[in-house]
Amino acid sequence: MSSEALSGAKSLDISERGAERPANSEVLSEAKNLDIGERGAERPANSEVLSEAKNLDIGERGAERPANSEDDNRFLAINQTISYIGPNYLKIPAGDSRPGKHSSGYTGASSISVCMDAARYYGQEDIRVEDVEPDAVGPEEVRIDVEACGICGSDLHEYTAGPIFVPGDAPHPVSGAQAPLTMGHEFSGTISEVGSEVTDLSEGDAVAVNPIIYCGECPRCEAGEYHRCESLGFTGLASNGGFAENVVVDAEQAVPLGDMPVEHGALVEPLAVALHAARVADVSPGDSVAVFGSGPIGLCQIQALRAAGAGPIIVSEPRDRRRERAEACGADVLIDPTEEDALEAIRAETGEGVDIAFDVAGVEATYNQAINSTRPGGRVAEVSIFEEGVETQPNDLVIPERSIVGSIAYQGGPRSAEEFGMVIDMLEDGRFDPDPLITDRIELDDITDEGFERLIDPDSDQVKILVKP
């Protein structure tokens, strides 16, 4: 049933009943407030039951209204409120939530509302900011009031070409969640509720969240390589994430931030991606490196390589503003591949090519350039998620004996604090600099227009936009 059909029917219904409403409608509204307040106190666990009960109830009360009234305006107001609730209620997936603070005209709603705003992914180019009921905190979980949540390149891939990591057809094997769900996996905040069995975290602790979801049973999990789990998922892609006022995660995912600004904690995840890639690629001080692409992860990669003592750091990036940021992050040589041949420029700088190249752009051209920019015996780290396959010449690896390695994330699960902890230390002592990474801060309501749409706009200068729910 379309929501228009329903609200139409409901309005009609109430209008008819309106003919019999009582003289004093003020009494009616007060009675309604009181009534809803009381119901709020004893509201059932299942919000669907509550919503239905509420709608029904208003109808029933309407039916008792006596005939005469001089107060048509007031009646109109009630009627409009109810038609407003109708479609709003219908937009929300069944069983997930109930009308909340957006039903601002609805008297009494705020006194029973425990809803919050969340940006939920429904499918390609379909993210909706809605009222949802917060998840409950289990014994080994914590609730985090989100301070900031970055929009990631992976989020953009889900938006333009997904679902990729978001379970679209079947629930995720570990989290049990599937679309629609709340996105956002790069976030920090303050703990506001602690599960009964959590002993090492307290209310008020500032934390970054390690979003790795793992099964705990597969061979890689048993080897302690949780980020290589066969059921690997991420909070905010395979379960509800940080584009919300608050979020519930396993306590082991919450990594204390110490005294650094809580907002900077939202950058720990992308910096950990880069730190992990540098470790996987086995970067040593003095290694010459090339980075293809200086978007958000590319800039983090440059900072991680600078911190590792690599140099020269050569960056190929077509957008002017991103090259400027690359320089601010520690790039020594900047190449505009639309103006010059990137491979020639790299050979001119290094002679036989770099020791290690990082592809952080994830398209066919950069995949092949990264391979061919390395010297014989060199290495390539692939740090991108591809939207489609690429054509490549494997002999470019074979004949010069180059190697290529993939890098998806960072240690997670019981090892959540290992690489996240290194990044937090490096943010604290200045080896990582958050300032060149953050290009804007926006409100949750603006996440599509001011966030996703600006980030996919090829003419935009945006790199990392932090959502502040």
Provide the minimum distance between the beta carbon of 226 and Zn ion in the complex, in angstroms, as a whole number. 7
Q: Which is nearer to Zn ion, 101 or 220 (CB)?
A: 220
Q: Which is nearer to Zn ion, 218 or 442 (CB)?
A: 218
C-alpha–C-alpha distance, residues 396 and 403, integer Å: 10
Provide the minimum distance between the beta carbon of 91 and Zn ion in the complex, in angstroms, as a whole number. 28
Position of tokens 């209310």? 203
385 near Zn ion, rule: CB under 5 A:
no
Q: Which is nearer to Zn ion, 269 or 287 (CB)?
A: 269
Provide the minimum distance between the beta carbon of 246 and Zn ion in the complex, in angstroms, as a whole number. 20
C-alpha–C-alpha distance, residues 152 and 157, integer Å: 9
240 phi/psi in degrees, rounded to 5: -60, 135
Provide the minimum distance between the beta carbon of 185 and Zn ion in the complex, in angstroms, as a whole number. 6
Query: Could you tell me which stretch among 95-103, 150-158, 160-168, 430-438 binds Zn ion (CB under 5 A)?
Result: 150-158
Strand partners, 443: 468
Provide the minimum distance between the beta carbon of 236 and Zn ion in the complex, in angstroms, as a whole number. 8
The rounded radius of gyration (Å) of the Cα atoms in the chain is 27
Q: Which is nearer to Zn ion, 99 or 233 (CB)?
A: 233
Q: Which is nearer to Zn ion, 229 or 314 (CB)?
A: 229
3-class SS at 286?
A: coil
- Are 226 and 415 in contact by the 8 Å Cβ rule? The answer is yes
Query: Could you tell me which stretch among 106-114, 140-148, 152-160, 197-205 binds Zn ion (CB under 5 A)?
Result: 152-160
Q: Which is nearer to Zn ion, 18 or 241 (CB)?
A: 241
Query: Could you tell me which stretch among 79-87, 147-155, 347-355, 444-452 binds Zn ion (CB under 5 A)?
Result: 147-155
Q: Which is nearer to Zn ion, 152 or 437 (CB)?
A: 152
229 near Zn ion, rule: CB under 5 A:
yes
Query: How far are the Cα atoms of 119, 160, 197, 335 from residue 239, in angstroms, in the given order?
Result: 13, 19, 22, 39
C-alpha–C-alpha distance, residues 431 and 138, integer Å: 37
Alpha helices (H) along 309-413: 320-329, 342-350, 364-372, 395-398
152 near Zn ion, rule: CB under 5 A:
yes
Torsional sign, CA 348, 350, 351, 354: negative
Provide the minimum distance between the beta carbon of 166 and Zn ion in the complex, in angstroms, as a whole number. 13
Q: Which is nearer to Zn ion, 134 or 296 (CB)?
A: 296
Q: Which is nearer to Zn ion, 173 or 377 (CB)?
A: 173
Query: Could you tell me which stretch among 60-68, 135-143, 146-154, 254-262 binds Zn ion (CB under 5 A)?
Result: 146-154
Query: Could you tell me which stretch among 56-64, 151-159, 275-283, 351-359 binds Zn ion (CB under 5 A)?
Result: 151-159
Query: Could you tell me which stretch among 223-231, 318-326, 345-353, 367-375 binds Zn ion (CB under 5 A)?
Result: 223-231
Number of residues counted as binding Zn ion (CB under 5 A): 7
Q: How many Cβ atoms are within 10 Å of 101's Cβ, its own excluded?
A: 14
Query: How far are the Cα atoms of 113, 367, 388 from residue 395, in angstroms, in the given order?
Result: 63, 14, 21
Strand partners, 189: 146, 207
Give the E-state strand segments of 151-203 in sequence order.
Answer: 181-182, 186-194
Query: How far are the Cα atoms of 55, 192, 199, 245, 456 from residue 248, in angstroms, in the given order?
Result: 30, 10, 16, 11, 29
Peptide bond connecting 312 to the previous residue in cis, omega within 30 degrees of 0: yes
Tokens read off for 413:
């699960």
Provide the minimum distance between the beta carbon of 225 and Zn ion in the complex, in angstroms, as a whole number. 9
Provide the minimum distance between the beta carbon of 232 and Zn ion in the complex, in angstroms, as a whole number. 7
Provide the minimum distance between the beta carbon of 228 and Zn ion in the complex, in angstroms, as a whole number. 8
C-alpha–C-alpha distance, residues 301 and 294, integer Å: 8
- Are 143 and 193 in contact by the 8 Å Cβ rule? The answer is yes
Site for Zn ion in 183-222 (CB under 5 A): 214-215, 218, 221
Query: Could you tell me which stretch among 224-232, 246-254, 309-317, 350-358 binds Zn ion (CB under 5 A)?
Result: 224-232
C-alpha–C-alpha distance, residues 176 and 431, integer Å: 38
Q: Which is nearer to Zn ion, 6 or 215 (CB)?
A: 215
Interaction pattern, residues 7-46, with Zn ion; x per rule: CB under 5 A: ----------------------------------------
Provide the minimum distance between the beta carbon of 272 and Zn ion in the complex, in angstroms, as a whole number. 9
Position of tokens 């069983």? 95
3-class SS at 216?
A: coil
Query: Could you tell me which stretch among 120-128, 227-235, 287-295, 369-377 binds Zn ion (CB under 5 A)?
Result: 227-235
C-alpha–C-alpha distance, residues 359 and 345, integer Å: 17
82 phi/psi in degrees, rounded to 5: -70, -40
Provide the minimum distance between the beta carbon of 56 and Zn ion in the complex, in angstroms, as a whole number. 44
Q: Which is nearer to Zn ion, 75 or 165 (CB)?
A: 165
Provide the minimum distance between the beta carbon of 42 and Zn ion in the complex, in angstroms, as a whole number. 43
Q: Tell me which residues touch Zn ion (CB under 5 A).
A: 152, 154, 214-215, 218, 221, 229
